């Protein structure tokens, strides 16, 4: 199926989720996760009108960035090893996986401009997952005041892999509460207004719980 057809279907689901939640559809941005797909398929996504693209590997990123043209904002959504920071940090518009001080320090050293970052939170506490615990998030964000290359635009999470909607919903709800509590501090380096949550299988729930960026791969650009 063409990306444009898949996008039409996704947009319908976004609209009805927004309607259920009493939200305006233009408050939800789609990050098309193109990490699995070819440069051609990625170009097709851009031509379908998708602006935000998500990648998760330093390898191949530059090649893709050069091959694909248009009005694009590049989102780095995967865990980022500190030693790879220098390879990508000046070529992305958003980082969704800031989760530790060593990474902050490396960004401070390597970035030529301020980087818009989401703090990745491990809401569900699963051991194999990256991200700060919700308890540690507020302090972590406050400490970032000392690093002028970091602008905290919001929080990001991945819900547990489960069929249980209530477990997923509870995870997203907790992230929204945490986002609100950090935003309420009115920190200059951390407006923290955005919520990056929801993927192919759970983005409608995420929208109902306040997602402003949904990260969709397989059901949007999958071949
Ligand atoms: C791959 C990935 C996605 C997209 O997953 P789909 O299930 O294909 O929609 C979203 N977020 C992150 C962090 C990812 O790694």
d(CA 55, CA 71): 16
In a domain, 222, yes or no: no
* Res 223: pLDDT: 79
Q: Which residue has the higher pLDDT, 86 or 126?
A: 86
Instruction: Point out which residues pair with 216 in neighbouring strands.
Output: 32
Domain-embedded: residue 72: yes
Q: Which two tokens stand for residue 214?
A: 């949904």
* 37 Cβ inside 6 Å of ligand 1: no
User: Which pLDDT band, with edges at 50, 70 and 90, does 126 fall under?
Assistant: confident
Residue 223 forms part of a structural domain:
no
**Residue having the nearest C-alpha atom to atom 12 of ligand 1:** 77
Residue 50 belongs to what domain range?
Answer: 3-216
**Domain-located, residue 187:** yes
Is 17 among the domain residues?
A: yes
How far apart CA 177 and CA 137 sit, in angstroms, is: 12
In this model, does residue 28 exceed pLDDT 90? yes
SS3 215: strand
pTM of the model: 0.97
Q: Going by CA atoms, what residue is nearest to atom 5 of ligand 1?
A: 217
How many domains is the chain partitioned into structurally?
Answer: 1
Integer-rounded Cα Rg, in Å, for the chain is 17
- Does residue 81 sit within a domain? yes
Cα 74 to ligand 1 centre (Å)? 15
Statement: residue 129 has pLDDT above 90: no
Is residue 50, in this structure, part of any structural domain at all? yes
* Spatial contact of 153 and 145, defined as CB atoms under 8 Å apart: no
Predicted confidence at residue 128, as pLDDT, reads 83
Query: What tens digit of pLDDT does each residue of 54-97 get?
Result: 999 999 899 999 999 999 999 999 999 999 999 999 999 999 99
Residue 221 lies in a domain: no
CB of 35 closer than 6 A to ligand 1? yes
What distance in angstroms lies between residue 33's CA and the mean position of ligand 1's atoms?
6
The H-assigned helical ranges of 48-131 are: 61-67, 85-88, 101-110
Residue pair 32/54 in contact by the 8 Å Cβ criterion: yes
Can you give the CATH number for the domain in which 74 is found?
Answer: 3.20.20.10
172-209 pLDDT per residue, tens: 999 999 999 999 999 999 999 999 999 999 999 999 99
**Ligand 1 close to Cβ of residue 217 (< 6 A):** yes
Expressed in angstroms and rounded, the spacing between residue 216 Cα and the centre of ligand 1 is 6
């Amino acid at each position: 199926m063409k990306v444009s057809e898949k996008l039409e279907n996704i947009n319908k689901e976004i609209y009805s989720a927004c309607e259920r939640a009493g939200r305006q559809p233009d408050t939800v941005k789609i990050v098309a996760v193109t990490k699995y797909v070819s440069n051609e398929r990625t170009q097709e996504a851009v031509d379908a009108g998708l602006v935000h693209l998500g990648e998760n590997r330093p390898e191949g990123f530059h090649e893709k960035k050069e091959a694909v043209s248009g009005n694009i904002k590049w989102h780095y959504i995967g865990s980022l090893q500190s030693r790879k920071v220098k390879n990508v940090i000046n070529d992305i518009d958003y980082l969704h996986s800031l989760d530790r001080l060593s990474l902050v320090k490396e960004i401070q050293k390597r970035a030529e401009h301020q980087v818009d970052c989401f703090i990745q939170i491990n809401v569900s506490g699963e051991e194999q997952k990256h991200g700060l615990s919700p308890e540690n998030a507020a302090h972590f964000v406050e400490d970032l005041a000392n690093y002028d290359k970091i602008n905290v635009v919001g929080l990001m999470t991945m819900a547990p892999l489960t069929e249980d909607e209530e477990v997923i919903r509870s995870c997203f709800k907790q992230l929204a509460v945490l986002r609100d509590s950090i935003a309420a501090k009115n920190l200059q380096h951390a407006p923290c207004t955005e919520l990056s949550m929801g993927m192919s299988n759970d983005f409608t729930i995420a929208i109902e719980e306040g997602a402003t960026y949904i990260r969709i791969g397989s059901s949007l650009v999958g071949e």
